[in-house]
Chains A and B, each alone.
Chain A
Amino acid sequence: KAGVTQTPRYLIKTRGQQVTLSCSPISGHRSVSWYQQTPGQGLQFLFEYFSETQRNKGNFPGRFSGRQFSNSRSEMNVSTLELGDSALYLCASSSDRTSSYNSPLHFGNGTRLTVT
């Protein structure tokens, strides 16, 4: 079974621009969540989508948004980029089925975003 796939792997953007990151979950997984990882703050939860609906959101500004498509693939968008947005952005998926509610999250290898 293929794992969580994130594209692109690396991205360099300029302050003020916007960026879209893509995530394809493991086949059959309906829950997709996004995390930001920086050396100073560690791994922080951004938001989670299930059946095309945002179910939960972390403590990030409105510049960070996302969406999920009917095939469970998800995109994350960051508008008006700031230098502090430079980070590794990680996507994770889980099956989130009632019968296996303790199914673990499986992460992709992330997109490394550098804002200059």
Chain B
Amino acid sequence: DTGVSQDPRHKITKRGQNVTFRCDPISEHNRLYWYRQTLGQGPEFLTYFQNEAQLEKSRLLSDRFSAERPKGSFSTLEIQRTEQGDSAMYLCASSLEGGRAQYFGPGTRLTVT
């Protein structure tokens, strides 16, 4: 069990550029979640997948954000036309269906300049 991995760990980009993050969940986990954490706050739910199906999206997820999980394995989160307000830690977590306990990756810290 290698745990949840995320890539890259850090990303610095200029306002207006597009960025893509990757998450590899624990291999037998069906569910994959994305959260966003800003400084001094708890993580906030963005979206989740059951296998390859995206089943819920938060209102925080504007139309500049898109997430995919092709083939129900790894997931990508893309932010188009980044804004300074997108600067945050983006966390991925996975769980067994019905298992309830989510296991988090190390996160990708995004800085938009």
On whether the two chains bind one another, the answer is: no
